[in-house]
Amino acid sequence: TSITSAKIQVNGVHLHYQQTGEGSHAVLLLPGMLGCGQTDFGPQLKSMNKKLFTIVAWDPRGYGESIPPSRDFPPDFFERDAKDAVDLMQALKFEKFSLLGWSDGGITALIAAAKYPTLIHKLVVWGANASVTQEDVRIYNGIRDVSKWSEKVKKPLEEMYGHKYFAKTCEAWVDGISRFAEKSDGNICQQLLPDIKCPTFIIHGEKDPLVPRAHAEYIHKHIKGSR
């Protein structure tokens, strides 16, 4: 089955998404920081079972082809992404759907599953965190300067955004996510985890350079019945 690429107006912005498959189980793929459907989920769009699933990969506002607007990071940017993601799926006429989120997309998926429990079927997250520690801020500052990134990771993003937007948005992201560490508990969405009622699967890369393993363990501990 072919992959459709389109835009739809949601919450005052034109969100870009890709869709493929004709299965009864709808799945939304949520990309990580600076990523979009194509950069983060090319293999899934190509290879996931198209008879079982209808697969949608989106570009959050300010990322990928969902520009304009330019990406910004107000204090509620994760909540804004969660609302955009859910409203996008509703605009596409999916009554219930599962979320597969990685990194920032995992955080967005956690918030969406907690806030819109009647709409979310199942949840899978990897490389996600529910809070930001001072140690995390130190790690984030290590990626602030995109000229130090490996060629492999940098190249597709530079091709998509151009160097200037890519560099500026990465710096803005580091500032935006580091702000959570200024709160006493560094909280992003810890208080929402007990509200997640759908079956939840948490995956973590043992060598994840950006997200220490304790974050995955915390999420698992606070989502009842998660695996």
Residue 19: name the closest of 51, 48, 55, 60 by CA.
55
Where are the alpha helices (H) located in the chain, listed in sequence order?
37-47, 77-91, 104-115, 134-141, 151-161, 163-178, 213-222
User: How, if at all, do strands 13-20 and 53-59 pair?
Assistant: antiparallel
* CA-closest candidate to residue 65, choices 159, 153, 196, 176: 159
Q: Tell me: the pLDDT tens digits for 75-121?
A: 999 999 999 999 999 999 999 999 999 999 999 999 999 999 999 99
Q: Which domain CATH number covers 84? A: 3.40.50.1820
Collapse the DSSP code of 87 into the 3-class scheme (helix H, G, I; strand E, B; otherwise coil) and give the result: helix
92 within domain boundaries: yes
What integer is the mean pLDDT of 149-173? 96
Res 93: pLDDT: 98
pLDDT tens digits for 198-218? 999 999 999 999 999 999 999
pLDDT at 187: 98
Looking at residue 83, what is its pLDDT? 98
In a domain, 139, yes or no: no
Instruction: Give the number of other Cβ atoms within 10 Å of residue 209's Cβ.
Output: 9
Would you say residue 183 lies in a domain? no
79: nearest Cα among 49, 56, 113:
113
- Find the domain containing 55 and state its range: 3-130+188-222
In a domain? residue 7: yes
Angle formed at CA 41 by CA 45 and CA 83, multiple of 5 degrees: 100
Report how far residue 17's alpha carbon sits from residue 4's, in angstroms, rounded to the nearest whole number. Answer: 8
* The pLDDT value given to residue 27: 98
Share of the chain above pLDDT 90, in %: 99
Domain membership of residue 31 (yes or no) is yes
Q: What is the pLDDT of residue 73?
A: 98
In a domain, 144, yes or no: no
Residue 37: per-residue pLDDT = 96
Give the whole-angstrom CA distance, residue 44 versus residue 23: 15
Q: Is residue 99 part of a domain?
A: yes
Tell whether 44 is covered by a domain: yes
d(CA 215, CA 58): 25
CA–CA dist 126, 111 (Å, integer): 14
What is the count of structural domains for the chain? 1
The pLDDT of residue 45 is 97
Q: List all residues 6 or more positions away from 149 whose beta carbon is below 8 Å from its beta carbon.
A: 143
Q: What are the residues facing 97 on neighbouring strands?
A: 120
Inform me whether the pLDDT recorded for 224 exceeds 80: yes
pLDDT of residue 150: 94
In angstroms, rounded to a whole number, what is the distance separating the alpha carbons of residues 132 and 141? 13
Average pLDDT, whole number, for the chain?
A: 97
* Whether pLDDT at 126 is above 90: yes
Q: What is this structure's pTM?
A: 0.97
Instruction: Evaluate if residue 1 carries a pLDDT over 80.
Output: no
